Amino acid sequence: MALTIILNPITLMLLTSSFIAILIALITIIFKAVAKKEGSMSEDAIVMYIGGEHESILTLKFPSSDALYWAVLKRVFRNVYNYLINSLHTGNVLDWLRYMSMWYGFLMTLAIMVSILVVLYGW
């Protein structure tokens, strides 16, 4: 015959938690009584299994701040590089001339402006 006990929820919570504690103790005792540890602790046994890799591979998990810096720079300058390649190396000499004269024009304008300012206001 079954024994039915009606409790309040808090008492039931405490009772079930104490039952769990008893079972944890029992299972831990069984483990301590029967479990056998691998005797020889070779180097292979004490390192974690990472698909055959050495533990040092985990240092690659987080990129260093230098790597992060260069990654950003590369990403930014890849666009500049692509722009230059697409502007200069089209195979058409006129494109090259247009690009170079644009830059030279810009530099000449800048040099003239700086020269005028130096003449007017001194160094």
Q: Which stretch binds another protein (CB under 8 A): 21-29, 69-77, 81-89, 108-116?
A: 21-29
Q: Which is nearer to another protein, 52 or 122 (CB)?
A: 52
Q: Residue 63, interface with another protein (CB under 8 A)?
A: no
- 99/116 Cα distance (integer angstroms): 26
Q: Which stretch binds another protein (CB under 8 A): 24-32, 80-88, 91-99, 110-118?
A: 24-32
- 47/49 Cα distance (integer angstroms): 7
- Give min distance, CB of 63 to another protein, in A: 16
Question: Residue 48 in contact with residue 56, Cβ under 8 Å?
Answer: no
Q: Residue 56, interface with another protein (CB under 8 A)?
A: no
Question: Residue 50 in contact with residue 57, Cβ under 8 Å?
Answer: yes
Radius of gyration from C-alpha coordinates of the chain? 38
Q: Residue 54, interface with another protein (CB under 8 A)?
A: no
